[in-house]
Structure 1
Amino acid sequence: MADLNDADPAKLAAARAAVALVEDGMKLGLGTGSTASVMVQVLAERVKAEGLRLRCAATSQATADLATSLGLSIETLDQIGRLDMTIDGADEIDPDLNLIKGGGGAHLREKIVASSSDRMVVIADGGKVVERLGLFHLPVEVLEFGLQGTTARIKAALDEIGLDGRPILLRKRDDQPFITDEGNLILDLSLEAIPDAALVNRTLNALPGVVENGLFIGLCDQAFVGRDDGTVVELHHDDIEDEIEPLFGSTGEAN
Structure 2
Amino acid sequence: INDKNIELLTSRIVSLNKSFIEADSEEEILKSFLNSYLFIILLITMILFSGGMFVRSLVLEKSNRIIELILSSCTSRELLFGKVLGLSLFGIFQFLIWIAIGIFLHQTNTLNFSTINNLGYQFLFFVLGYVFYSSIFIGLGSIVSMDHEAQQLTGYLSIFLISPIILAVEIIRAPNSVLSLLLSYFPLTSAPVMLLRLNTTKSSLTEIFSIVLVLLFSLYVVVYLSSKLFRIGILNTGKKPSLKEILNWLRTK
Q: Which has the larger radius of gyration?
A: 2
Higher helix share: 2
Same fold (TM over 0.5): no
User: Scaled by the length of structure 2, what TM-score is found?
Assistant: 0.21
Higher relative contact order (CA 8 A, sep 6+): 2
User: Scaled by the length of structure 1, what TM-score is found?
Assistant: 0.21
